Structure 1
Amino acid sequence: MAYSEFLKEYRSGLMENVHYGQMSAVNLTKEEFVSVGQDYEPVYFRSAAKPFQAIPIFMTDFIEKYGITSNESALFLASQRGEIYHQEALVSLLEKLPINENDLICAASYPLNEEPKTQYIQQGFEKRKLFHNCAGKHLGFLTACLANGYDVKQYCHPEHPLQQMIKKYIAYLSEYEIERIRTGIDGCGAPVFAIPLKNMAIAYLKLARPELIDDELIREAVIKLTAVMNQESHIIAAQNFICTALLKDPNIVAKGGAQGVYCFALRNEGVSFALKIMNGSESPWPNVIASVLEQMQYTNQETIERIKALSPAFVRNDAGVEVGEIVSTIKIV
């Protein structure tokens, strides 16, 4: 395999774990200037696709029509964690839409983060589809169907016109032939598309630099939705999660997905990165991304420190005692 070492974990001086990965980065001319450990096979976007999956709803006037706030519209882009403010925003959003909760195909779920989940269960509440990690995305799907006059039944079937529209937008923005895009089914039941990391990076570059998008309607939708991602970063994930930490920086567009996929782009620098941790772990993300930003000599030290706060430098035992260290080994320059 071509994969490169991204992160090593040591316990009492002995290497105990190593995370391998692959990464691509492109510059403003869409040339690949970083290629680390790549096998050049397609990779499923997973939830890193959410900005593209939300383009259809942001292309309509339905956000304004139904009085959806910026806070609520961020749910269309979010992998929300079930915090109380997420729950309140989801309930408010559903009340504004001509949609029944049972229309959602995602599974009923408890809030994802442990504290709100415990509180929710202690109050005697049952699982709800509305509190699935991807419920906001599904509400966006259904609303986009209504706006475009599409049947809401089987809205997540790969051949449904909404999903074909999303696939077309991903092909267009990533500059990858639509016939070559692989289609699977994500954990929430929606179609998920696979393209090479370089093309993911190109697509994220256009999120950060929408002037690269020729299609005016898509460009305007991207400008709107990326502004929401930065303005409502707490909705996209939650405090102490890397998506929220990165999106607090108005220069960054970022979103992660399951099985170790992460994409981020720097607006002013005109560069974009896509990576995958090959064992599917998300825990290396902060260490790896902080290292990449430092190697890029990124000038916003506040952002780097915020990411480092999520990047454990030590292995600790159950009592919190340091028993080892964690070392980022990725090299991009």
Structure 2
Amino acid sequence: MMTASSTDPVSPVLAEVVRSGFVEGRHRGSLVILAADGSIEHALGDPSLPVFPRSSNKPMQAAALLRAGLDLSGERLALASASHSGEEFQRALVRTMLDEYGLRESDLQCPADLPLDPVEAEGYLAAGHGRERVTMNCSGKHTAMLAVCALNGWPTDSYLDPSHPLQRLILTVVEEAAGERVAAVGTDGCGAPLMAISLVGLARAFRTFVLAPEGAPERRVADAMRAHPEYVAGTRRPDTWLMRALPGTLSKMGAEAVQALALPDGRALAFKIDDGAVRVLGPVLARTLERMGVESPVLARLADAPLLGGEAKVGEIRATV
């Protein structure tokens, strides 16, 4: 097991928190950019060290479901790859999928939760609702996992056990896509097994998905996510903005400030903010895409991370990559 120590190298600063012209905080991390041929074009920190990609692993989990015979496409496959916001249209499709496969909400082993999107959560609570498993951002993935277990006659009560046939298949898919062995297996926030790979491997996996042959499980997942990004994230989420504004782009964030992305020509990036500050993802992602030569108004939207003093803007989070 890998643990941090006082002798570990200090990661470079990827973003600064600037208030009233004063740098009051710094966020460190590691980052890698792959060229179209898959070679490392630019790196900061040590992107060869393993990290938990958290929900950035979801495309690989979804590809494993297809390999195991689950016939998903369109919005349903996008939702199986999602960290959804808990918006009404997403909750409705999860419930529809549960009904289609003869499942109940109580079969889901993800925790009950509120909508991930703060705006949606306010309205949800105001309407008198409480935490539900369907509302949890990983409920689409868990529904699809249960469905493929039922299809193959695999146990459904232990589908989150790392030794379960489904989870062993997911580990194989992760390793194949990343081009490296999984360094560690942990437990994600939703209770599912979580495979650690390097940032280089994570970027390589996203590159694998966008360049996969048409009809391959990896390509089917990428195509569904890119065609239906609102089901992957939500109407107010950066992954959705990016996949809508940059056609052919595959983008997926993960908890603890992980981001992976591949452009349709095979260029890819992945980064991890050491302290897990998700607020830094937009500015760092926008600056990295600029470095890669991407031009789009969506980059300004991503980079906009103001700091407020009262109700006025007095500073910002700015990328230093």
Instruction: Identify whether the pair has TM-score above 0.5, normalized to the shorter chain.
Output: yes
Aligned to 1:264: 261
Q: In 1, Cα distance between the equivalents of 2:47 and 2:270?
A: 13
**Hey, what does 1:309 align to over in structure 2?**
301
- What is the DSSP-based 3-state SS (H/G/I as helix, E as strand, rest coil) of the residue aligned with 2:278? coil
* Whole-Å separation in 1 of the counterparts to 2:285 and 2:256: 16
Output the CA distance in 1 between the equivalents of 2:47 and 2:115: 36
1:57–1:143 CA contact under 8 A, matched in 2 = no
Residue of structure 1 in register with 2:314 after alignment: 323
TM-score by length of 1: 0.88
Q: Which amino acid aligns with 1:235?
A: Y
**Displacement after TM superposition at 1:266 (Å):** 0.9
1:3 maps to a residue whose letter is S
Shift of 1:202: 1.1
Contact 1:245–1:307 (Cα < 8 Å) also in 2: no
State the alpha-carbon separation in 1 of the partners of residues 169 and 65 from structure 2: 11
Decide whether the 8 Å contact of 2:77 with 2:225 is kept in 1: no
Partner of 1:29: 37
Could you report, residue by residue, the CA deviation over 1:80-117 in whole angstroms, capped at 9, with x for unpaired residues?
11112112222222221221211111111222223332
1:195 matched to 2:197? yes
- The aligned counterpart of 1:226 is 222
Q: C-alpha displacement at 1:39, in angstroms?
A: 6.2
SS at match of 1:131: coil
Which AA in structure 2 matches 1:318?
G
User: Cα–Cα, structure 1 residues 2 and 150, in superposed 2: closer, same or farther, change >3 Å?
Assistant: same
Structure 2 alignment gaps of length 5 or more: 1-8
- 2: distance between equivalents of 1:247 and 1:85? 19
How far apart in 1 are the matches of 2:118 and 2:16? 28
How far residue 181 of structure 1 moved from its aligned partner, in angstroms, is: 2.5
Identity of aligned residues (%): 28
Equivalents in 1 of 2:126, 2:22: separation in Å?
43
Deviations 1:21-46 (A, max 9, x none): 10122234332221111163210010
1:119 aligns with 123
Given the superposition, is the C-alpha separation of residues 123 and 296 from structure 1 closer, same or farther in structure 2, using an over 3 Å criterion? Answer: closer
Q: Which amino acid aligns with 1:194?
A: A
Q: Give the aligned partner of residue 206 of structure 2.
A: 204
1:147-198 deviations in whole A, cap 9, x for unaligned? 2221112100011110000001111111112xx5310000100000101111
What is the match of residue 274 of structure 1?
A: 270
Shift of residue 313, structure 1, vs aligned partner: 5.4
The answer (yes or no) to whether the contact 2:94–2:143 under 8 Å persists in 1 is no
User: Displacement, 1:62?
Assistant: 4.0
Aligned position for 2:5: none
Deviation at 1:18, TM superposition (A): 1.0
- Give the gaps of 5 or more residues in structure 1: none
Q: Determine the structure 1 residue equivalent to 2:80.
A: 76
Q: Secondary structure at the match of 2:86?
A: coil
SS in 2 for 1:310: helix
Q: Which amino acid aligns with 1:17?
A: G
Q: Is the 8 A contact 2:285 2:302 kept in 1?
A: no
Tell me what 1:6 maps to. 14
Match of 2:279, SS state, is: coil
Structure 1 match to 2:27: 19
Residue 296 (structure 1) aligned with residue 292 (structure 2): yes
Q: Work out the CA distance in 2 between the residues paired with 1:116 and 1:293.
A: 29
- How well do the aligned residues superpose, as a CA RMSD in angstroms? 1.9
Match of 2:58 among 50, 57, 70: 50
Matches within 5 A, 1:150-229: 150-177=154-181, 180-211=182-213, 220-229=216-225
Query: SS at 1:79's partner residue?
Result: coil
User: Which one is further off, 162-171 or 125-134?
Assistant: 125-134
Amino acid at match of 2:195: F
Aligned to 1:309, the other structure's residue is in SS state helix
TM-score by length of 2: 0.91
Quickly say closer, same or farther: Cα 1:327–1:108, change in 2 above 3 A: closer
Aligned pairs, how many? Answer: 312
Output the CA distance in 1 between the equivalents of 2:122 and 2:318. Answer: 34
Aligned counterparts of 1:130 and 1:201: Cα–Cα separation in 2: 30
Contact 2:63–2:217 (8 Å) recurs in 1: yes
Amino acid at match of 1:161: P
- Sort the Cα spacing of 1:114 and 1:315 in 2 relative to 1 into closer, same or farther, 3 A: closer
Alignment partners' CA distance in 1, 2:161 and 2:84: 23
CA contact (8 A) 2:303 2:318 kept: no
Deviation at 1:242, TM superposition (A): 1.2
